[in-house]
Structure 1
Amino acid sequence: MSTYTAEMAVKSHRALWIAGAVVLILVAVAVLSSWTSRCADYATGGGLCVYEPALGLPQSIVLAVASVGAAAFCVYRAYRAGRG
């Protein structure tokens, strides 16, 4: 039978912060890798096709930067949990 120690608490907090960072990085990758395309055919000439991020370029960039920033904060907190 094991007892819950302070060292176990630190390890569990560190693991949660690292898991949060991994999830946030995956969100950033998913946002930047989701693309969509649409085409319009014109009767007089060739068509026009647009290939862009699913959320739109500005929104994708903002969400990706926010996710990476939050992941960096999670890594910092994991580091601090190990020192404290």
Structure 2
Amino acid sequence: MSYVIVSAAAAALLATVASAEPAAPSKSFERDGMTYVYTVSTKGERTMINGRRYPDGKRFSLTVNNGRVSGVSGGMPVSFRVADASSEEIASR
């Protein structure tokens, strides 16, 4: 998955983080022909986003902390600023 798709997906995920509660039920959204199903949990100041994208079923695991997103998506490491993900989402509209 390219950086733009990952950051756009992360921006959509981050939009739901503010309303998340620990052990929240699964949520989902669609982007670029993929469906992302995920859960959001918090531990201290960190927010963890874990799930799978379909139809390929690949896992993703992202941690949001101190204005940065880092983790793994589809077996590829990702790391970027939250502000960059938000900028990509706005630019793609």
TM-score scaled by length of structure 2: 0.29
Q: Which has the higher contact order (CA 8 A, sep 6+)?
A: 1
Give the alignment's TM-score, normalised by structure 1: 0.32
Flag the structure with larger Rg.
1
Q: Which has the higher strand share?
A: 2
